[in-house]
Amino acid sequence: MLGGRYTLGPRLGEGGMGVVYRAQDRMLRRTVAVKVFRGGPAESARTATEVHLLAGLNHPALVTLYDAHMGEVAPRYLVMEYVDGPTLGERLARGPLSADTVAGMARDLGDALHAVHAAGIVHRDIKPSNVLLRPSTVRGEEFHAKLADFGIAHLIDSTRLTTPGLVVGSAAYLSPEQVSGAGPAPAADIYALGLLLIECLTGRRAFAQTGLNEALIVRLTQDPVIPTSVGNGWGALLTKMTDRDPAKRPTAREVVRAVADLRYADAGPETVAVDPGVIEPEPSTTRVLRPIEPAEPVVENPRLGPHMRWLLAFIAATVIAIVAVVGLIVWNAADLGVVAPSLPMLQEPMHSHLQQLLDAVTP
């Protein structure tokens, strides 16, 4: 048990500066990761730097530092957030990742590097084993990536804590300027991230050489091969990230924006899944349908307003009165031998209707 509080469990990983264990915090009753440093007092300056670096960083895509014991008496250790998930290296052992998954990881790591670089820090050791993957609770995302292990991180423009001229970092992800011995700068992290993304998309390292001497020569003379299968958008971004000239590489924030554009461009129109059971299959035989005869047009009588109904009632009453008068006159004329008078001229069609009535009652 460390510090009377942390009970060490299985070993999670091992690096040049120490060993990382899963442990239990007996005081807070939570699982943590404990990094126990190896080496004597000569390493105290470097380990103290890592403590200060981690303590000053706070970002969802960076491992959080909880506690530290960096006294003169061994063991010296850090207590950090435990990420319950595999490393990127373990995930890549099963094969490459989808472009959308790689985009999400590039967003996480790009955001983390932006925070790191803004704090004046260069990580200098971007590689699959230093990327931890936590299962995502967001629909459509496989995991969230976290950047870990700042053991060889370097403060920008500070005095070097390592031996002058020493090449620091994993050989497979070294940048040309690291090989040439130039001072650390954020562009070196961008180069390493570019190589990492190529490996995620293709399932193999951009540079197959693993030996340090071979890696040094190749890095200064060759560019990584980016397969056309990754697509034009990814090809253009990765080419910029792995340019041998550090000044031509994008910043971490520009990488995040470029990845967001790639995800937006790759997103097609939203489709709606249709249950096959509700779709009627086309009939196997041709059905002949009888033509539908056009129906007789229906003419609707317009509704009569109050004024029109009053006018028609007045005309009907007038016609009845005239018929009665004409009938009386004709009756009397028949008895007196008087010729029935003719109708006065009225407007048509009323004159014709009255004439027909008069003819009908005339003896």
Let me know whether 72 and 91 are in one domain: no
274 domain residue, yes or no: no
Q: What is the pLDDT of residue 273?
A: 40
342 and 252 assigned to the same domain? no
Contact 176, 192 (CB under 8 A): no
3-17, 31-45, 55-69, 325-339: the lowest-pLDDT one: 325-339
Average pLDDT, the chain: 78
* Rounded Cα gap, residues 158 and 156, in angstroms: 5
Give residue 53's pLDDT band: very low, low, confident or very high (50, 70, 90): confident
The CATH number linked to 23 is: 3.30.200.20
Q: Does 248 appear as a known binding residue?
A: no
Considering the domain architecture, whether residues 210 and 88 belong to the same structural domain is answered as yes
- Whether 204 and 215 map to the same domain: the answer is yes
Selection from 191, 205, 297 nearest residue 243 by Cα: 191
Note the pLDDT of residue 71.
76
218/140: higher pLDDT: 218
Give 289-320 pLDDT, tens digit per residue.
444 455 455 444 555 555 556 555 666 666 56
In a domain, 296, yes or no: no
Last residue of a domain, one of 47, 82, 117: 82
Find which of 198-202, 286-290, 341-345 is predicted with most confidence, using mean pLDDT.
198-202
* pLDDT tens per residue, range 256-283: 999 999 987 765 444 334 344 333 343 4
- Report CA-CA distances (Å) from 273 to 58, 175, 269, 276, 278: 42, 47, 13, 9, 12
Active site residue 157: no
Q: Do 235 and 98 share a structural domain?
A: yes
248: DSSP letter: G
| 190, part of any domain | yes
Please count the structural domains in the chain: 3
Q: Kindly state whether residue 37 falls inside one of the protein's structural domains.
A: yes
Between 322 and 157, whose confidence is greater? 322
Q: Are 17 and 147 in a shared domain?
A: no
- Residue 34 sits in the same domain as residue 120: no
pLDDT digit string, tens, across residues 150-208: 766 666 654 433 444 445 557 889 899 988 888 889 999 999 999 999 999 999 999 87
Q: What value does the mean pLDDT take over residues 59-76? A: 86
| Percentage of the chain lying above the pLDDT 90 cut | 43
Residues 144/108, Cβ–Cβ less than 8 Å? yes
Highest mean pLDDT among 56-60, 97-101, 168-172, 284-288: 97-101
Which of 82, 109, 140 is the endpoint of a domain? Answer: 82
Query: Do 69 and 116 fall within a single domain?
Result: no
Kindly state whether residues 73 and 92 are assigned to the same domain: no
Rounded distance, CA 124 to CA 173, Å?
9
- 49 and 103: one domain? no
The answer to whether 118 and 251 have CB atoms below 8 angstroms apart is: no
Residue 21: which domain range? 1-82
Is the pLDDT reported for residue 288 higher than 70? no
Among 59, 82, 105, which residue terminates a domain?
82
- Do 104 and 187 reside in the same domain of the chain? yes
Residue 44's H or E segment, with its range, is: helix 44-55
- Of the pLDDT bands very low, low, confident and very high (cuts 50, 70, 90), residue 214 is confident
Catalytic residue (one of 67, 84, 100, 125): 125
The whole-angstrom separation of Cα 168 and Cα 165 is: 9
Q: How far lies 86's CA from each of 130, 132, 179, in Å?
A: 11, 6, 30
